[in-house]
Amino acid sequence: MLVLVVGSGGREHAIVRKAAASSSVTEVHAAPGNAGIARQAQCHDVGATDIDALVALARRLEPSLVVVGPGAPLVAGAADALAEAGFTVFGPRREAAMLEGSKRFAKEVMNAAGVPTAEFAGFTEYQAAMAHLSTISFPTVIKADGLAAGKGVMVVEAMEEAEAAIRKCFVDRSFGDAGLSVLVEECLVGHECSVLALCDGDTILPLEPAQDYKRIFDGDRGPNTGGMGCYSPVPRVPPELVEEIIEQVHRPTIAELKARGIDFRGVLYAGLMLTGEGPKVLEFNVRFGDPEVQAIFPRLESDLVELMLAAARGELDGASLDWKRERSVSVIVASAGYPESSSKGDVIEGLDADGQLEGLEVFHAGTAEEDGRFVTAGGRVLAVTALDETFAGARRKAYAGVEKISFDGMQYRRDIAAEAKEAESRG
């Protein structure tokens, strides 16, 4: 079969690599892809949110499956348009995608479904949001309601920071229209984790959990990013807790959507805080996590394409997942200035001709090719992933790989999976 993957980041590279490895796949295409993806798929110069062009491309290629990677085209209705044109699409329709497209909508669904989450207040007016700050305690969380590339969540410690965050949304328009509706939310305390599940409208099949690192600097300091690294599995999230999360979070959410006449097929990603009162939802996404899948997919032995087809067709019942026993650690390498800005065109040294490193998986996120060389083309540039029997070994391999890479302004966190290594060493 021919598979078309929509998107250009590390998540899409991970999907392309699994598709290329599937025994049922003869061709993999990507729109628009990147320099690394181009080594395993035929790339087409079609933007992920250019829906008319995507439909036209699909009509030309006639794929058996279209996988929409990022959230933005799903929120814009890409799955609707492709399905209406007669294609099998992995990714929810626009109504369901609003779980990610609007944090306020997600909160309303969670409250109606009884899903545990933080208390919040929503505002569409600057003065009302500012006035509300005098009624809350700190720290608190300010969130842009819409899509903001993972940067619209601001944890603030004091009134001055909170006021600046509100101004950033309403006055500075740092997040565009996404920040014209704002949530002021209770700050949850605990350990974060991500639990992603394949859904076909009824059946829910969880992937193994992962731990993401949102802040740019070691020790969870600095502004939020799209994610600076990840590891899987998560020792503090055993299978019985995953099942509890599915029953308390994913299943009631899917049921509430269904009660509203909304059929969810694709990935329901729950970003969670494991609090003293149990798991609570920080956010929902409606696509594979980035960088979660760069850590999860190398451990997945099952055929991802067959699973995505089953989800898209409503045929997940009876499906199961097989996993490697090894631990996985993935480290993001980002460009100068990220997340506030990003440097482009810097030559990347240390990769082979295919953009890889021996013994590791390197997923390209923000890369391009100029004069036969890989160069930076975005904020998050690469994800370097290693597998090993222990987290200590996986960390050692991943960071050894990162140290072989160089480009001007390169930055990365040095504490990815450090707590997992320490927990493992304690037994």
* pLDDT digit string, tens, across residues 77-107: 999 999 999 999 999 999 999 999 999 999 9
Read off the pLDDT of each residue in 3-19 and give the average, rounded to a whole number. Answer: 98
Q: Phi and psi of 243, rounded to 5°?
A: -65, -40
For the chain, give every residue range classified as CATH 3.40.50.20. 2-93
pLDDT band at 425 (very low <50, low <70, confident <90, very high): confident
Tallying the residues shown for the chain, one arrives at 427
Q: How far is CA 403 from the centre of its chain?
A: 25
Quick one: tokens of 318?
Answer: 């009876």
User: Which numeric CATH code is attached to 191-313?
Assistant: 3.30.470.20
Read off the pLDDT of each residue in 127-139 and give the average, rounded to a whole number. Answer: 93
- Which tens digit of pLDDT belongs to each residue from 27-39? 999 999 999 999 9
Distance, CA of 154 to CA of 141 (rounded, Å): 6
pLDDT band at 208 (very low <50, low <70, confident <90, very high): very high
Read off the pLDDT of each residue in 273-277 and give the average, rounded to a whole number. Answer: 95
For the chain, give every residue range classified as CATH 3.30.1490.20. 119-186
For the chain, give every residue range classified as CATH 3.30.470.20. 191-313
Distance, CA of 230 to CA of 274 (rounded, Å): 17
For the chain, give every residue range classified as CATH 3.90.600.10. 327-426
pLDDT at 5: 98
- Which tens digit of pLDDT belongs to each residue from 360-412? 999 999 999 999 999 999 899 999 999 999 999 999 999 999 999 999 999 99
Partners of 384 in the beta sheet? 331, 362
Mean pLDDT, all residues of the chain: 96
pLDDT > 80? residue 151: no
CATH of 327-426, one of 3.40.50.20, 2.40.160.60, 3.40.980.10, 3.90.600.10: 3.90.600.10
pLDDT at 341: 85
2-93: which CATH topology?
Answer: Rossmann fold (3.40.50)
Domain range 119-186, CATH architecture = 2-Layer Sandwich (3.30)
pLDDT > 80? residue 253: yes
